[in-house]
Amino acid sequence: MGDMPYGQCKYCYQIGPLRITYFSFPIKCECCSPYHAERIEHCSKCEARIPTETKVHLSTKKVLDPIHENLFIKLP
């Protein structure tokens, strides 16, 4: 399915074919759909680890009224 991504591993900084792992967060953000996910590009030798921080783009409307705007969603 598609081309194998190629580039630098996030962990060991080797250049080569990459594996992509997504970590999902139960937040309905503006940057991802349908929920926030962090994309990790890493080589086949390094296991992806859940990142210690993530950048989320949110609408101020959701931050001001997270309950009614359904800021938090259940992951499938």
Residues at the interface with Zn ion (CB under 5 A): 9, 11-12, 29, 31-32, 36, 43, 46
What token pair was written down for 46?
A: 């390094």
- Whole-angstrom CA distances from 68 to 26, 36, 64, 74 are 16, 18, 10, 15
Name residue 36's beta-bridge partners.
Answer: 25
Judged by CB, which is closer to Zn ion: 32, or 73? Answer: 32
Judged by CB, which is closer to Zn ion: 14, or 65? Answer: 14
Q: How far is the CB of 10 from Zn ion (least distance, A)?
A: 7
Q: How far is the CB of 6 from Zn ion (least distance, A)?
A: 13
